[in-house]
Amino acid sequence: MWAVLSLPLACLLAQAWLAPGSTLASRSPEVQAGLETLLTARAQSKTSQTSERRRAPEEEEGEEDSPWLSPEGQKLSGEASNLGFSLLRKISLKHDGNVVFSPLGLAWAMAALTLGARGHSRAQLEEPLLQTLNQTRPPRLPALFKRLRDSLSHNPELGLAQGSFAFIHKDFDIRETFLNLSKTYFDTECVTVNFRNTSQAKRLMNHYMNQQTQGKLPKLFDEINPDTELILVDYILFKGKWLIPFDPALTEMDTFYLDKYKTVKVPMMYRSGKFASTFDTNFRCHVLKLPYRGNASMLVVLMGIGDHLTLEDYLTTDLVDAWLRNMKARKMEVFFPKFKLDQKYKMHELLKQMGVQKIFSPWSDLSNLAVTERNLKVSKILQRAMIEVDEEGTEAMAGTLSEITAYYMPPVIKVDRPFLFIVYEETSRTVLFLGRVVNPTLL
């Protein structure tokens, strides 16, 4: 029988995230008693301090001292962003409603999986993220992502936190090398569970995720395959605060146009001031930049009603860079809707369509995971993303814009119809979240 390596990937935007120096809520005695039958803590100090840890190809001498904004780092950010744009197009083929997901979160999970994969299985995971990197040296995805994570975590104003869990079946003889490298590159916390008791395993894992995300993801795991040996969970928490908040007193109910014939009422925020924006004459779209604290921004892309799907076919990092280069700051009035989205995607289906297939098949090579020879494959990769936008900030903001100009009035951008949004970190140009808002009143 083939053992199943299930890989749910939780990428979310939490309205309140665990601030540096704070602690998780302690378990009640009742919860603790119910979990003790499943939980066996693995000694993290042993995995992080062992002197016998092997040096992986990613740890070549001198690499850890090189800055993130090296040519390789910049190229990796671009490839991760283009992966996100490709996934948006795949999602659009399935439905034309609201979308929110994290390209960075998926790229992180793919890089984490390469630590356990070999041969073609590893190559297919790396290919979407290494297309423009120098192939004359061994791939170094985990090291590059560690540098990116370190760079982002050194900016407390950004409001971004990332974590990783490895839920391991109690009888699965996992390689210490894999655990060591996962801890080194992704700060992975290991928890032992009994997947054969699916109801208790599900309760335990949901408990961990609920605590770590402060209740923003109470039920990530709906069902568990009893043949599961390992579940890897990567999560992202982002609480972005606007550089200049919207005034709640100015928020009013207003009309949002779903299409030419249907409308809904939404709470519309308002602020006047200097904003950077541009108009793309080729695609006939306005692009507005809404900055957060901590050197991050959201791009809001507004076209004519129904035209947002057309633009998605042409989204690339080169197009986004062109928008940013052509932006001019000027005084204007901005109307932007409050909204909340909650989306979940089967990323394994989308990755298969993009050529990442071997690791999901019975011929996958995950021999870097287990001490003894085992028949392992990845059964699924799931991503759940949540976003909430209000006057103070956002967890991945979406926006569309239409411009009304008058000779005697300041420009007005009113996001009152379906729009695309891109949340990115300025220095590395890393896309953190990507999506579209078609109906702000629906999750």
Report pLDDT digits (tens) over 333-381: 999 998 888 888 888 888 889 888 888 888 888 888 877 766 788 887 8
CATH code of 124's domain: 3.30.497.10
Single-letter amino acid, residue 120: H
Whether residue 308 sits in one domain with residue 187: no
Whether residue 226 sits in one domain with residue 125: yes
Is residue 276 in some structural domain?
Answer: yes
Q: To the nearest 5 percent, what fractions of the chain are helix, strand and coil? A: 30, 30, 35
Q: What is the distance between the alpha carbons of residues 388 and 384, in angstroms, rounded to a whole number? A: 14
Whether residue 258 sits in one domain with residue 209: no
Q: Which of 26-35, 310-319, 362-371, 388-397 is the least confident region?
A: 26-35
173 vs 308, more confident:
173
Whether residue 266 sits in one domain with residue 297: yes
Whether residue 201 sits in one domain with residue 53: yes
Is residue 400 in some structural domain?
Answer: yes
65 vs 79, more confident:
79
Mean pLDDT computed over 101-113: 88
The pLDDT > 90 percentage for the chain reads 23
Judge whether 271 and 285 are in contact, CB under 8 Å.
Answer: no
Q: What is the pLDDT of residue 156?
A: 80
Q: What is the pLDDT of residue 34?
A: 39
Is residue 442 in some structural domain?
Answer: no
Residue 326 gets which letter from DSSP? T
Q: What is the pLDDT of residue 262?
A: 92
Whether the per-residue pLDDT at 35 is higher than 60: the answer is no
Single-letter amino acid, residue 244: I
Judge whether 416 and 402 are in contact, CB under 8 Å.
Answer: yes
Whether residue 319 sits in one domain with residue 223: no
Categorize the per-residue pLDDT at 324 as very low, low, confident or very high, splitting at 50, 70 and 90. Answer: very high
Whether residue 118 sits in one domain with residue 21: yes
Whether residue 215 sits in one domain with residue 267: no
Report pLDDT digits (tens) over 146-172: 888 888 878 888 877 777 888 888 888
Is residue 30 in some structural domain?
Answer: yes
Whether residue 257 sits in one domain with residue 216: no
Whether residue 173 sits in one domain with residue 319: no
3 state DSSP class of 72: helix
Whether the per-residue pLDDT at 395 is higher than 90: the answer is no
Query: What mean pLDDT value characterizes the chain?
Result: 76
Is residue 78 in some structural domain?
Answer: yes
Q: Which of 170-184, 212-226, 363-377 is the least confident region?
A: 212-226
Judge whether 286 and 327 are in contact, CB under 8 Å.
Answer: no
Is residue 443 in some structural domain?
Answer: no
CATH code of 284's domain: 2.30.39.10
Whether residue 395 sits in one domain with residue 264: yes
Q: What is the pLDDT of residue 52?
A: 36
Which stretches of 69-177 are assigned E, i.e. beta strand?
99-101, 160-169
Q: What is the pTM of this model?
A: 0.79
Domain tally, the chain: 2
Whether residue 345 sits in one domain with residue 297: no
Q: Which range of residues forms the domain containing residue 319?
A: 241-340+391-437
Domain stops at, among 387, 406, 424: 387
